[in-house]
Structure 1
Amino acid sequence: MTSEHPGSADLADRIHGGWLGRIAGNMLGKPVEQGEVWTRERIDRYLRRAAALPLTDYLPEPADPADGAVLRPEWRRCVRGRIHGSCRDDDVDYAILGLHLLETHGFGFSTEQVGELWLLRLPYLQTFTAERAAYRNLANGLKPPLTATYDNPYQEWIGALIRADVHGWTRPGDPARAAGLARRDAVLSHTGNGVYGAMWAAALISAAFTAPTVREALESALGVIPASSRLARTVRRVIALHETRLAWEENVATLTAETAGLGWIHTVPNAAVLTAGLLYGEGDFTRTIALTVRGGLDTDSNGATAGSVAGVRTGAAAIPDRWKDPLEDTVRSAVFGFDGVRISALAERTLRLATAAA
């Protein structure tokens, strides 16, 4: 269910909020991005030791040296008091690459053109799992959809989902179209729930512009993927448990048990953590990204998507300064030609595409 399309000034603020939210959420989750080490319980222990619960800002420095030893190597540039612009990360690189794709080829882009842009603009060693398998297949002369299926055990992992934001930002209030664009991108490297994850995320972000509530945005997003898919069933399960007023911790623990065995980078358990963060965040930007990252698994990817949804809903102006100011309106990126670009400039370019598509 959607309401009226946002006006131009409002749309500019909401798209800017999506970019800021994605980057801030990514930075929040980055130090603890290793799901088999940083479980939900361990993340909360870390925060308790540093007197940082409830979490209302970027992660604090580790109070215990043993924790510091297992944080991501980039943690010193991602913790409160040490952030000067965003760290480079694939969760942001793909949003930039998606923007460049639409600027270069328009909304009629082909999956083959997505692959060509990767080869031209993205360093091979900055790709991972399914994207690296697809990149290797492209370099060896394979064409989609073989690029997704040949020697690629990661076809349902989260990589395609993290590439979907720009398709939601540029199709505000049009979740079906956003999902169609995301699907065309996703099939380069993914199949099944991996593709559905991208479609769902793009539709969710698109619906976030106009849906009265996050719950209604989630319902719109479910409408673009097969109801019988494991992804749709898992998202509906989180929503149903939330409706029973089950505590956030118990909801996440239940879904962790029910999706055990899929691994911490698979689309389905991460969509559960993300859905719980959005629902229990209750429309508050800080609470949404904090709960999502505290849920564990692929923390920086989930934090980024939660931040994108929450940022679209609140708009850039309403995101607390403690999340925005350390970013210094600057993005580090491995995408050739984009390192050091301004976040505000990316938002303006995205707005032009969204306005042209309207």
Structure 2
Amino acid sequence: MTPVGTELSDRVLGGWLGRIAGNMLGKPVEQGDHWTRDRIDRYLRRTAALPLTDYLPGPADSDQGEGDEFALRPEWRQCVRGRIHGSCRDDDVDYAILGLDLLETHGFGFSTEQVGDLWLLRLPYLQTFTAERAAYRNLANGIKPLLTATYDNPYQEWIGALIRADIYGWTCPGMPRRAASLARRDAVLSHTGNGVYGAMWAAALVSAAFTATTVRQALDTALTVIPASSRLARTVRRVLTLHETRMTWEDTLSTVSEETSGLGWIHTIPNAAVLTAGLLYGDGDFTRTITLTVRGGLDTDSNGATAGSVAGVLCGAGAVPAQWKDPLEDTVRSAVFGFDGVRISELAARTVALAEAGAGTAAVPS
């Protein structure tokens, strides 16, 4: 069990480090329709990396031929153990940075329209994907929110809004409803239904991790900010129940995978199940949490990032094991204009300043 942190600054830095490390861990196998849970574990056995306690090992040369079943994503050379020098650029980190810039620019009273304006100003179109790209295109064509989320956008309940939510939890420590309200205002630019609920849930989960004594307590708190009848809430509760019965992690994921089949590997619902299972069976241990989450498959880098954020907030940066944080070299690559090469410690310090300023403001409108 990783010790629970105490200092706000250390825990916010832990959240940033955890998000980036979890993202980097999952990035080489981010292709859920190919890198299934079974294939990930077979790769780890092939490379003598089970139990997984560090970044993924690099492949044997024979594993990277065209069509090879163990071929990693093209970015693997910057994301495997022994070859990491600072973080790779990735949208799972770009949106956390963009959210920080949003709050610094417009404060906690920002509007959905201002989120869209900042995307157009700071974020390259080709670094957006699925629902975010559809919303970006709609914005560029003069369509206003909330139509940006619904016009010609088949990805409305996919995971994109969830990966944008951590900054609202970090800046609202111990205020999960406020964090969820901010995340909702951001999410509706590009998502609807469970896509929005996923963002609200994730923001509340990160916020609750600052004051919860256990992962389960944080998960229970996060469920209170979304409709109990939503499929997201029902799926998360299903994982909680299976865990309570002492079902194994593998059997829990197999059971929920069958129940959510057909939704696709980037949909919010099955990914929330993988994330919930990783947090529960990780049981507060940073390394076990992010490695189980990534081994769960689907959108591995996004799930690893959110699991790392929650685990990092729970334990604080000082307790994040060195093998995860040292290779990051306190440096972030980013496509967000003006932020490439920024220090992780600087991002954390700016986040703490917002959290401290926000603590003295009135509750924001939903």
TM-score by length of 2: 0.95
- The corresponding residue for 1:21 is 18
- The corresponding residue for 1:158 is 159
**CA offsets 1:283-337 (integer angstroms, 9 cap, x no match):** 0000000000000000000000000000000100000000011000000000000
SS of the equivalent of 2:53 reads coil
Alignment partner of 1:108 is 2:109: yes
Share of identical aligned residues, percent? 83
SS of the equivalent of 1:261 reads coil
Aligned partner letter, 1:39? T
Q: Is the 8 A contact 1:46 1:67 kept in 2?
A: no
Instruction: State the distance in 1 between where 2:26 and 2:192 align.
Output: 26
- The corresponding residue for 2:150 is 149
Instruction: State the distance in 2 between where 1:287 and 1:209 align.
Output: 19
- The corresponding residue for 1:3 is none
Instruction: State the distance in 2 between where 1:65 and 1:81 align.
Output: 19
Closer, same or farther: CA 42–64 of 1 in aligned 2, 3 Å? farther
For structure 1, the 5+ residue unaligned runs are: 1-5
Instruction: State the distance in 1 between where 2:19 and 2:304 align.
Output: 7
TM-score by length of 1: 0.97
**CA offsets 1:254-285 (integer angstroms, 9 cap, x no match):** 11111000000000000000000000001000
- The corresponding residue for 1:288 is 289
- The corresponding residue for 1:326 is 327
Instruction: State the distance in 2 between where 1:30 and 1:299 align.
Output: 7
SS of the equivalent of 2:144 reads coil
Q: Is the 8 A contact 1:264 1:270 kept in 2?
A: yes
Q: CA deviation at 1:66?
A: 3.1
Q: CA deviation at 1:212?
A: 1.1
Q: Is the 8 A contact 1:49 1:63 kept in 2?
A: no
Alignment of 1:208-357 (within 5 A): 208-357=209-358
Instruction: State the distance in 2 between where 1:63 and 1:226 align.
Output: 47
Closer, same or farther: CA 189–37 of 1 in aligned 2, 3 Å? same
Q: Which of the numbers 28, 32, 37 marks the counterpart of 1:31?
A: 28
Aligned partner letter, 2:86? G
Q: Which runs of 4+ in 1 moved over 6 A?
A: none
Aligned partner letter, 1:11? L
- The corresponding residue for 1:202 is 203
Aligned partner letter, 2:338? G
Q: CA deviation at 1:62?
A: 1.4
Instruction: State the distance in 1 between where 2:26 and 2:195 align.
Output: 21
Instruction: State the distance in 2 between where 1:344 and 1:65 align.
Output: 39
- The corresponding residue for 1:60 is 57
Instruction: State the distance in 2 between where 1:54 and 1:230 align.
Output: 33
RMSD: 1.0
- The corresponding residue for 2:43 is 46
Instruction: State the distance in 1 between where 2:185 and 2:155 align.
Output: 18
Aligned partner letter, 1:151? D
**CA offsets 1:188-230 (integer angstroms, 9 cap, x no match):** 0000000000000000000000011100100100000000000
Equivalent pairs counted in the alignment come to 351
Instruction: State the distance in 1 between where 2:215 and 2:182 align.
Output: 22
Aligned partner letter, 2:31? Q
**CA offsets 1:104-124 (integer angstroms, 9 cap, x no match):** 000000000000000000000
Instruction: State the distance in 1 between where 2:256 and 2:142 align.
Output: 40
For structure 2, the 5+ residue unaligned runs are: 360-366
Aligned partner letter, 1:43? I
- The corresponding residue for 2:120 is 119
Instruction: State the distance in 1 between where 2:325 and 2:266 align.
Output: 27
Q: CA deviation at 1:67?
A: 5.5
